[in-house]
Chain A
Amino acid sequence: MTGGQAALLAMVVLPAVVGAGLSLSRRAEAASAPIAVATAVLTTALGVVAALARPTLAVPFVAGAEFALEVDALAALIVPMVTTVTLLVLVFAAGNIRSSRARFHGLMLVFAAAALTTAAAASLPALLFAWEIMGATSYALIGFWWREPHRVSAGLTAFITTRTADLGLYVAAGAALAGGAGMALADLPDAAAPWRDVLAAGILVAALGKAAQLPFSFWLSGAMNGPSPVSALLHSAAMVAMGGYLLLRMQPLLAATGWAGPAAAWIGVVTAVLLGAVALAQRELKQLLAASTVAQMGFVVLAAGVGAVSGGTAHLVAHAATKALLFLAAGAWLSALGTEKLHRLRGVARRWRLVGVTATVGALALAGIAPLSLWATKDAVLAGALEASPWLYAAGLLAAALSAAYAGKALWTVWRRGVPVQAQQGGTGKVGVLEQAPLVVLAVGAAVLGVLALPPLGPVLAEALGGHGGVSPLGLLVSAGLALAVLLALLHWRAPEPGWALHWLGLEAAAHAVVVRPAFTVAHALARFDDHVLDRAVHAVAGAVPRIARAAAQVDDRVLDPGIETTAAAAEATGRAAAQIDDAGIDATVEGVAARIRRLGQLARAPQTGAIHQYLFQAVAVLAIGVAAYSVYAVMG
């Protein structure tokens, strides 16, 4: 095993083992945060080594497929992103999470291990393995405060919704086996049609589910019930981001089918527009950020659909820094003030200046203001969209304008002058150092990561990842101007709040009406059928057996037994008559015969007990004798 392979293996195993240990331990409560941060530091270092060494690692796993990991050019960008954001979020959590720390940090590390495995997965079993563990840990993290039922419900919704989409990967595994190209991700585009189309469809559905694209978006709204650091990791750099990442990785497969690319592009851009409107309509900061995450992930999905892999990757990385920053800032305010209602956050940026300034950098980046990161990366995606279709480009611009609008709405609220906000019940009134430090690092990232999409780095990235590195100056100018215009307009007119989008387009209600309720109806109907029809039928059949037995017993008593009794009586009478004629010897013999016959009659009655299991034993005995007789016959003959 080379050093690079060892680093790759350790990068995955270390956080998994430490995390599992922490979450099950009951003694590590006080030490858990330092242990977790130290583990994250080591993992980050290992991730950097792996990104530089580009190792591959494959071991035999299930029948017909390996567990393969590989850090290629794409993973070399994503792996350090995941480890760095994990580290920063854990530092924040060390200051922010105050109870059940061991469980929290343990689950976060297990989650990080799963996300890193997903990023490095090179075969379908490895991908699905990590993919579903991500889902399960996200369930445990969203429902972290388990005494409150609505939070656990939200975790359940997230897990079931994403698992519904995950079924696509199971189907894809079957298609890979049938398509003859094997289960290595890189080989999937070579699968034979129509299996290749099944593969593409399965992977597309699974990725859309994780990335919370339409129609799966609603689970992310509920996921905001988790602690803020959870949102900062799961819904910026991992989990949701992994959905977009998978499509970027599988772009050759999408392109090979001919239809999957355009499908992904349109689903992505429609999600970006509609969820942009949803974000604009929200009245709570974390809900706004969640909807914005879905919308921004729409750009990544669009990028995968139109083949702008390098642009999409740059957008993914820049968005991870930006959104982790904003979720952490929201978390800091939430802990300090005990509320996340936007109208209660009025002027909050003025109260904690460092949080306010860094969050502003993040919000301006999200709005697409030049020269901050998302301005350039989004434009790299839009340049790809313009090549594919002007309509896609137009829709993308609309989504960009909406990003500026919802980011502006949040900014306007937190900087607004007025009555200073007061801490609500449960608010601590403080933002600690550990909570502030990560914000600075992330703000730098949110500001400068746009270089990934601009010359001279952009073309290099495009060379390594695929897609084209060209962003036209005109396009950049249009994007920058649009974002600025929308922001300035918001200063004059208040942001519109489209009421139809407040409840996330009614997607969850629709899922309940169309899927959940019918499923329960079917379940209850089948359970009733099982109890009242199937089981009763078995009982009816079984009940018939004693009835038949009773009937047989009656025949026995009324017909056979009297017959025997009569015979006996007749014999007795005959005997008595004979006794009158013959001597005592003959008489005794006759009496003996009669007694034996009576005994036979009693014996014949004995088996008719009415007890069903005894009848069965008799049946077996008869069967066994029959078998033996037949066997003898068969052997002889």
Chain B
Amino acid sequence: MLSTIVFLPLAAAAVLAAVPAIRPAAARWIWVTVSVAELVLIGVLWANYETPGANELAFEEQMPWIPGVGSSYHVGVDGLSLPLLAMTAVVFLACAVYAFRDNDRPRAQAALFLFLQGVSLGVFVAADLILFFVFFDLSIVGMYFVIAGWGHGSSARSALKFFLYTFLGSLSLLLGFIGLYVASTPHTFDIPELVAATPLDGNPLAGGLVLAAILVGLAVKTPTVPFHTWLPPAHTDAPATGSAVLAAVLLKMGTYGFVRIAMPMLPEAWRAWAWVIVAVGVVSVLYGAFVALAQTNLKRMIAYTSVNHMGYIVLALGAVGLVVDDAAQARSVAVTGAVTQMVSHGLITAALFLLAGVMQKRAGTYDMGSYGGLAGPAPRYAALFAIGAFASLGLPGFSGFIAEFQIFAGSVAVAPVTAIALLGILVTAALFLRALQRVFTGPTEGRSAGFADVRAEELWSVVPLLGLSVLIGVLPRVLLDVLGPASAALVGLVGR
């Protein structure tokens, strides 16, 4: 089942790439059809999912792969990865719909995005470090071609910067994986085995170094301050669909690495360095929010809010490492909030980036000062953007609130000082409302004149994303029933 989910889009991508005779229309239909099929498959997976035991996976598959180094093709899901799988499938389907009228090399585009979808899903199901690493790096390669091939502005430069930065980060990650491998007896790259063994417990120096290597690798991808400077240019120059996938899916690989690898495999080191992680989280929250406030380019602004939103996740996960008596419940609330935020940020930011892409298509600029009173000519666009903005600033009724409420309730309960990161949600509110005001309200002027309202494919790519955000925001149990047990299990693993 999981292998089908991972390899179906890869196979479709291979066919699309190999057969030049496929016409553009057919390529688009193949892309949408495969994306729908993926979503259906993951829906079936969700429907049949039963919470596995601690450090166990559901729908497990294992085959020998590189037995010499203790690495196997091992996949499986649990409550932490299943929501991310679903979010990934939804975002990729939204991109397929959004690009439905895009005439820029549709066959290659469809092949590339299906390839990206396959490897992204692969990251979230991998239960082996080498497998994880392979998918992780292939996603970087895929995104490089998306930005370089379909971007605008200085896209070649931005793509190269993205590639080099995140690729270097992944090397650090590999170093950490090797450290875990070397320390384990018998040597293995298998994730559940390493989680069970916690090979570096009782060795603070080596544990700290391996954690540092893994943290740097994941921090680049997440990204946290100060490793985030590849993000704004990559987003600014990427196509709308590329930005949506980059923000929604690729950034989550970093934060997912924390909960899947760093925390359960290195619990002692995680606890020892928890305060550093909390500090990085708080700095990312505040720094991302304030720098976003100063932006005049809408897409850059949204990119910096991603730094801010990822900061909440890091902050909450760091707080989990602060073992305080009787605080298991609070720490579980924080983890639940962090994973909710991963899903929520994926949905909301993908919607915002797709909407930002409409600006580039219509008027060729993201500069907010070039617009004014856009709600006049484009009322539906304005309404969608306003809803997306309120969702992103954490308004109740949207998934972001569920995430941030739990993150802050859990973190403040464990470490009251984290309350200063609350300023982040205030600054985010201010910057989104200012952007709304500048672009959409007032007299219609500048590039707003003649701005055509959203078309069907734009509407129907964004509406489901925001609709799911509302669903989670109003009925969070849909998500939390899957997520909650996994969070509690993770808290148990970190507390060992």
Contacts and interface: CB of A to CB of B under 8 A. Distances in A.
B419 A171 contact: yes
Interface of A: 24, 26, 59-65, 125, 128-133, 136, 139, 143, 146-149, 152-153, 156, 159-160, 163-164, 167, 170-171, 173-178, 180, 198, 519-520, 522-524, 526-527, 530, 534-535, 538, 542, 612-613, 616, 619-620, 623, 627-628, 630-632, 634-635
A180 B178 CA distance: 43
Contacts of B443: 147
Contact of A133 (B396, B422, B437): B396
Interface stretch (B15-23, B160-168, B210-218, B238-246): B160-168
Nearest to A632: B68
A195 to B, nearest CB: 9
The secondary structure that dominates the B interface is helix
B426 A167 contact: yes
9 contacts: A62-B409, A64-B333, A136-B395, A163-B429, A174-B330, A174-B411, A177-B333, A178-B413, A542-B164
Interface in B384-438: 390, 395-397, 401-402, 404-406, 408-414, 416, 419, 422-423, 425-427, 429-430, 433-434, 437
Interface in B441-456: 441-443
Nearest to B187: A634
Nearest to B289: A523
Contacts of A631: 68-69, 181, 187
A616 B174 CA distance: 14
A199 to B, nearest CB: 11
Contact of B395 (A132, A152, A534): A132
B126 interface: no
A620 B134 CA distance: 13
A133 B427 contact: no
Given A62-B406, A63-B406, A535-B229, A178 B412 contact: yes
A147 B294 contact: no
B30 interface: no
B375 A160 contact: no
* 6 closest residue pairs by CB, A with B: A174-B412, A527-B294, A178-B413, A177-B413, A523-B293, A523-B294
B383 interface: yes
A63 B337 contact: yes
A495 B412 CA distance: 51
B419 A61 contact: no
Interface string B301-336: 000000000000000000000000011011011001
A542 B229 CA distance: 13
B53 interface: no
The secondary structure that dominates the A interface is helix
B332 A173 contact: no
B167 A616 contact: yes
Given A63-B336, A523-B293, 16 more contacts: A26-B379, A60-B477, A62-B409, A63-B337, A149-B441, A167-B425, A167-B426, A170-B409, A174-B410, A175-B412, A198-B416, A520-B294, A526-B290, A530-B287, A613-B160, A635-B187
A177 B416 CA distance: 11
A522 B290 contact: yes
A128 B443 CA distance: 35
A623 B213 CA distance: 15
A394 to B, nearest CB: 38
Contacts of B427: 519, 523
B373 interface: yes
B381 to A, nearest CB: 13
Q: Which of A129, A167, A173, A526 has the most CB of B within 10 A?
A: A526
Interface string B88-104: 00000000000000000
A632 to B, nearest CB: 7
Contacts of B433: 139, 156, 159-160
B476 interface: yes
Nearest to A619: B171
Contact of B291 (A26, A526, A538, A634): A526
Given A152-B437, A520-B294, A160 B426 contact: yes
A174 B437 contact: no
B408 A170 contact: yes
Contacts of B182: 630, 634
B476 A62 contact: yes
A520 B293 contact: yes
A176 B434 CA distance: 33
Nearest to B382: A146
B376 interface: yes
B408 A178 contact: no
A525 to B, nearest CB: 8
B357 interface: no
B344 interface: no
A124 to B, nearest CB: 8
Contacts of A128: 396, 405
A616 B137 CA distance: 13
A634 B179 CA distance: 12
Contacts of B487: 63
Given A62-B406, A156-B437, A623-B174, A163 B401 contact: no
B226 interface: yes
Contacts of B31: none
Contact of B480 (A62, A523, A620): A62
Contacts of A60: 477
Contacts of B330: 64, 174, 177-178
B412 A170 contact: yes
Nearest to A173: B409
Contact of B229 (A131, A175, A520, A538): A538
A616 B167 CA distance: 9
B484 interface: yes
